[in-house]
């Protein structure tokens, strides 16, 4: 089984930035898609079509943790909270 770092480095699954659109436009991880936390409940069906695993990040790990909980409550099983954007950058080095 791949570690979170390996998943990020190998571009496994889908990297999802749950920060606001403005935060995403200012800076994001290349290849990530932006689904702000407040939109997650309304975009569950769209997210089901994305490739698992679902790797979520935000600024600090708080919003991505909430989004991960929402997805798990909606039946997603391959969901990971990667923490904040700086954590993801660290994994990539």
Which residues are tagged catalytic? Answer: 58
Burial bucket for residue 23 (CB in 10 Å: 0-12, 13-18, 19+): middle
> In 3-state terms, what secondary structure has residue 48?
helix
Residue 56: φ, ψ to 5° = -105, 145
d(CA 66, CA 38): 10
């Amino acid at each position: 089984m791949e570690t979170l770092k390996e998943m990020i480095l190998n571009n496994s699954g889908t990297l999802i930035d749950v920060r606001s659109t403005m935060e995403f436009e200012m800076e994001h991880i290349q290849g990530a898609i932006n689904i702000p936390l407040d939109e997650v409940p309304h975009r569950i069906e769209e997210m089901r079509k994305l490739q698992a695993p679902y790797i979520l990040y935000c600024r600090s790990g708080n919003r991505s943790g909430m989004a991960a909980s929402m997805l798990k409550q909606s039946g997603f099983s391959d969901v990971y909270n990667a923490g904040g954007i700086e954590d993801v950058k660290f994994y990539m080095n």
